[in-house]
């Protein structure tokens, strides 16, 4: 799906009609491939007015971005927005991006912990290939009636919430439980034996926890319904879902677990054959201004790496966010690093055994 914004210059149109436009320079363009909600119409219009640059937006996702950039060798777009764990492997294999020049960025407008996390996740041969933009987390959605007994992922196994718990049998659950058990799965990514040992411990814990689980949720609507009706009082889920429920019922909140929420970041990355790199940096600096970034949060429901942007977010969403995250919780987020080949197959086998266990 593609959404484009173009500006027609009356003078240019008149000149064309008179046959006088030969040799005229076309309007400067910035071509961005991004996710829905990350480039709202009002933000695009404000940038175009301020810079005179015509912005063309193509809506996409990680797989589609990779496919398009791979097919063109990094051409066709000036700015892309892949997730932080989908850059290094792609760059090694297909060479579709160019390093980011952080000296051209207003880094003071960005959360320092997210800059650091993105640089670590996108570093290759001493160069950085990503800039943090939009982020989100998995953590806990908890009803006030059980908030004193559910503060971390493994607390979902407590007797106080037996039969009132839900989570997915997906890799975030493996990662969350591991961290809550005092283990660090991300640090063990490159040690096959150590990683297998961590997965074995988490598998045993999840099997022991089965009696507490009302149901393993498989879709967002299903989970929200379980929490709305009170069938589930605590769940491992995503932050925006918790904030949506909080808007309906103030006794339901998304909380960052004590061992740390699990975080993803959608970045800015510069395609290798960008034709307007200067405009790409202008766009990054423009949208990372707190008041502009807040417009993106209001449109997408996700917060950005812009420092202080929550001050300008719609009050209801801002207040729910502040319940979930103080500075300590932000700095304790466990950001997903790139996944080495083969790990997800091994994780899938663990999850299948948990599902089948009696």
Residue 292 lies in a domain: yes
Tell me which residue range forms the domain holding 151: 137-261+337-356
Q: Looking at residue 342, what is its pLDDT?
A: 85
Residue 330 counted as domain residue:
no
Which runs of consecutive H residues, i.e. helices, occur in the chain? 10-17, 41-51, 62-72, 88-94, 112-122, 171-180, 192-208, 220-229, 239-248, 277-287, 290-300, 315-324, 327-331, 343-356
Is the per-residue pLDDT at 240 higher than 60? Answer: yes
Name 164's Cβ contacts closer than 8 Å, sequence gap at least 6: 146, 212, 214, 231, 232, 233, 234
Residue 1 scores a pLDDT above 60: no
**Together in a domain, 161 and 249:** yes
Number of structural domains found in the chain: 2
Give a yes or no: residue 302 inside a domain. Answer: yes
Q: Is 331 within the bounds of a domain?
A: no
Give yes or no for a contact between 209 and 176, defined as CB atoms under 8 angstroms apart.
Answer: no
Mean pLDDT of the chain: 91
In Å, how far from its chain's centre is CA 113?
A: 15
Q: What are phi and psi of 226, to 5 degrees?
A: -60, -40
Question: Which pLDDT does position 124 carry in this prediction?
Answer: 96
Residues 158-175 pLDDT 10s: 999 999 999 999 999 999
Q: Which two tokens stand for residue 60?
A: 């996409």
**pLDDT tier at 26, thresholds 50, 70, 90:** low
Does 87 lie in the same domain as 186? no
- 240-247, Cβ contacts within 8 angstroms, sequence gap of 24 or more: 240/136, 240/301, 240/302, 241/141, 242/139, 242/141, 242/320, 242/324, 243/301, 243/317, 243/320, 243/321, 243/324, 244/301, 245/141, 246/320, 246/323, 247/316, 247/317, 247/320
Q: Answer whether residue 269 is part of any domain.
A: yes
Residues 261-275 as b/e (b if ≥16 CB within 10 A, e otherwise) read: bbbbbbbbbbbbbbe
pLDDT at 344 over 50: yes
- The CA radius of gyration of the chain, in Å to the nearest whole number, is 23
- Dihedrals phi, psi of 263, to nearest 5 degrees: -120, 145
Give the domain CATH number at 210. 3.40.190.10
Q: How many CB atoms lie within 10 A of CB 279?
A: 22
* Res 320 pLDDT > 60: yes
Are 352 and 227 in the same domain? yes
Residues 33 and 115 in one domain: yes
Mean pLDDT for the stretch of residues 309-324: 94
Same domain, residue pair 107 and 200: no
pLDDT band for position 17 (cuts 50, 70, 90) = very low
| 99 confidence band (pLDDT: 50, 70, 90) | very high
Task: Report pLDDT digits (tens) over 53-75.
Answer: 999 999 999 999 999 999 999 99
Question: Same structural domain for residues 197 and 294?
Answer: no
Q: The tokens of 286 are what?
A: 């423009």
pLDDT attached to residue 8: 32
Name the phi and psi angles at 353, rounded to 5: -70, -35
Pairing mode, strands 234-238 and 131-143:
antiparallel
222/289 same-domain check: no
Model confidence pLDDT, tens digit, residues 194-219: 999 999 999 999 999 999 999 999 99
Residue 10 has pLDDT above 70, yes or no: no
Q: What is the pLDDT of residue 128?
A: 98
């Amino acid at each position: 799906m593609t959404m484009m914004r173009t500006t027609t210059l009356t003078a240019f149109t008149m000149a064309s009609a008179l046959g006088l436009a030969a040799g005229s320079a076309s309007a400067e363009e910035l071509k961005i491939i991004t996710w829905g909600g990350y480039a709202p119409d009002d933000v695009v219009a404000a940038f175009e007015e301020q810079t005179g640059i015509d912005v063309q937006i193509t809506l996409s996702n990680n797989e589609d971005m990779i496919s398009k950039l791979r097919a063109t060798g990094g051409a066709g777009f000036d700015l892309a927005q892949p997730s932080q764990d989908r850059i290094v492997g792609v760059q090694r294999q297909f060479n579709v991006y160019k390093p980011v020049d952080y000296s051209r960025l207003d880094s003071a407008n960005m959360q320092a912990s997210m800059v650091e996390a993105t640089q670590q996740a996108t570093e290759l041969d001493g160069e950085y290939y990503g800039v943090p933009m939009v982020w989100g987390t998995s953590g806990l959605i908890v009803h006030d009636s059980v908030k004193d007994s559910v503060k971390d992922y493994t607390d979902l196994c407590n007797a106080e919430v037996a039969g009132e718990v839900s989570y997915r049998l997906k890799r975030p659950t493996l990662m969350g439980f591991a961290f809550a058990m005092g283990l660090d799965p991300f640090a063990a990514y490159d040690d096959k034996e150590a990683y297998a040992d961590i997965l074995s411990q988490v598998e045993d814990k999840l099997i022991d926890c089965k009696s507490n689980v009302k149901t393993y949720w498989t879709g967002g609507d299903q989970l929200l319904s379980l929490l709305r009706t009170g069938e589930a009082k605590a769940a491992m889920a995503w932050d925006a879902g918790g904030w949506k429920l909080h808007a309906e019922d103030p006794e339901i909140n998304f909380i960052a677990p004590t061992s740390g929420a699990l975080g993803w970041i959608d970045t800015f990355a510069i395609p290798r054959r960008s034709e307007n790199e200067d405009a790409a940096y202008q766009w990054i600096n423009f949208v990372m201004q707190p008041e502009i970034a807040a417009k993106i949060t209001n449109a997408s429901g996700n917060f950005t790496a812009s420092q202080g942007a929550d001050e300008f977010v719609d009050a209801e969403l801002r207040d729910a966010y502040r319940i979930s995250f103080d500075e300590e919780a932000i700095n304790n987020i466990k950001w997903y690093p790139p996944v080495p080949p083969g790990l997800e197959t091994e994780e899938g086998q663990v999850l299948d055994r948990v599902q089948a266990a009696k």
